[in-house]
């Protein structure tokens, strides 16, 4: 692959990968520094690129592996720490040397994280902004709950900055993607009376209304399905955002929250097994004009 021209390179993921692969070509043709000496790769690095670069830590050429580690050291990327720690024991001498440099930098990162978490909790202004930005680059999965506590306590631009912090941590860890909406939702301030009212309404909705009116039905309308699914999502979201507050509420509230969690699981499983009958023109059979049903991922007409 030909080297990518700096002036015309895109700073998006595709452009970054093209530039990165161009660096590999340079290294393999005997020009060291194709990756580690390219400041463009440092300046345009984004946390969401970490899972992609991690694949190149198992590249056949030790020169490439070494320079990838050097790049990840320069951008202070913590996502690959476990992989590089393993490489520091098992890889070649040249690669192990690069691993030592990374792990020394990573130790500095781990030492900085508690301070950054303290700053976003107690400080304001430029100091807060710098800490939030730093945590977006070096924050770990285990730091998310602590960051979210501060996220729920601040407002305005400070909340926007922590939203970006959390989003960047999620981008670095693809396994968190299914929980993105939960993690980025705003924690609820403690209010036991309001939570008690939420539990009353939610339990009544599922344990009485859903059980009596929906549970026995095999076929429900698309509108009913959408409304119920939306209600279940809202309940899940509220429970997630009240998790820390349960320590402040009476034990009975925790028991009722667990009961509601079980009800949500039961209702979600039952709802997923329903046949959905179309309720608008888009779901009418083009042959006979009557409502179609949705089952096993397909719309079909039971009348034709």
The DSSP-derived string for 58-116 is G-S-HHHHHHHHHHHHHTT--TTHHHHHHHHHHS-HHHHHHHHHHHHHHHHHHHHHHHH
Higher pLDDT, 4 or 56: 56
pLDDT digits (tens, 9 = 90+) for 132-156: 998 998 888 999 999 999 999 899 9
- Indicate if the pLDDT at residue 90 is higher than 70: yes
Tell me phi and psi for residue 85, to 5 degrees.
-60, -40
Model pTM score: 0.65
Mean pLDDT over the full length of the chain: 88
pLDDT band at 3 (very low <50, low <70, confident <90, very high): very low
Residue 271 sits at the vertex; the CA angle it makes with 176 and 221, to the nearest 5 degrees, is 120
Report the first-to-last Cα separation within the chain, whole angstroms: 57
Identify the bridge partners of residue 277 per DSSP, sorted by sequence position: 221, 293
pLDDT at position 296: 59
* pLDDT, tens only, 221-231: 888 998 999 99
Please check the confidence at residue 219 and state whether its pLDDT lies above 70: yes
CB atoms within 10 A of CB 134: 19
Residue 8 pLDDT level (bands cut at 50, 70, 90)? very low
Give the Cβ contact number of residue 188 at 10 Å: 19
Specify the residue for token string 């520094």: 33
| 82 Cβ neighbours under 8 A, 6+ residues apart | none
Q: Would the pLDDT of 294 be above 70? A: no
Report how far apart, in Å, the C-alpha atoms of 210 and of each of 90, 188, 255 are: 57, 26, 21
Whether residue 274 contacts residue 217, with contact meaning beta carbons closer than 8 Å, is answered with: yes
Is residue 288 very low, low, confident or very high in pLDDT (cuts 50, 70, 90)? confident
pLDDT confidence bin for 281, thresholds 50/70/90 = very low
As a dihedral over the C-alpha atoms of residue 185, residue 187, residue 191, residue 196, rounded to 10 degrees, the angle is 50
**Alpha-carbon span 249 to 255, nearest angstrom:** 11
pLDDT digits (tens, 9 = 90+) for 25-62: 999 999 999 999 999 999 999 888 989 999 999 999 99
pLDDT of residue 73: 93
Query: Distance between CA atoms of 192 and 198, rounded to whole angstroms?
Result: 10
**Kind of pairing between the strands at 275-277 and 219-221:** parallel
Show the tokens assigned to 24: 């590999």
């Amino acid at each position: 692959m030909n080297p990518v021209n700096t002036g015309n390179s895109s700073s998006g993921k595709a452009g970054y990968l093209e530039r990165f692969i161009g660096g590999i070509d340079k290294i393999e043709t005997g020009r060291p520094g194709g990756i580690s000496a390219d400041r463009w790769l440092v300046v345009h690095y984004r946390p969401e690129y970490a899972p992609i670069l991690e694949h190149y830590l198992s590249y056949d050429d030790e020169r490439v592996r070494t320079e990838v580690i050097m790049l990840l050291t320069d951008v202070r990327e913590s996502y690959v720490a476990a992989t590089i720690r393993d490489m520091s024991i098992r890889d070649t001498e040249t690669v192990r040397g690069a691993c030592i440099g990374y792990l020394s930098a990573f130790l500095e990162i781990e030492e900085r994280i508690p301070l950054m978490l303290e700053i976003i909790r107690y400080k304001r202004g430029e100091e807060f902004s710098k800490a939030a930005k730093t945590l977006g680059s070096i924050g770990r999965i285990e730091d998310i709950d602590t960051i979210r506590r501060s996220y729920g306590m601040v407002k305005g631009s400070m909340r926007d900055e922590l939203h970006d912090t959390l989003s960047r941590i999620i981008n670095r860890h693809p396994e968190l993607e299914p929980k993105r909406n939960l993690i980025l939702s705003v924690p609820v301030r403690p209010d036991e009376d309001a939570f008690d009212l939420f539990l009353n309404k939610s339990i009544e909705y599922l344990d009485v209304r859903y059980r009596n009116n929906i549970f026995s039905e095999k076929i429900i309308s698309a509108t009913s399905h959408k409304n119920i699914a939306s209600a279940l999502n809202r309940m899940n979201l509220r429970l997630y955002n009240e998790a820390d507050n349960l320590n402040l509420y009476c034990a009975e509230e925790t028991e009722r929250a667990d009961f509601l969690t079980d009800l949500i699981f039961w209702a979600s499983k039952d709802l997923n097994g329903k046949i959905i009958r179309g309720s608008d023109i888009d779901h009418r059979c083009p042959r006979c004009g009557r409502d179609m049903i949705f089952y096993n991922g397909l719309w079909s007409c039971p009348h034709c």
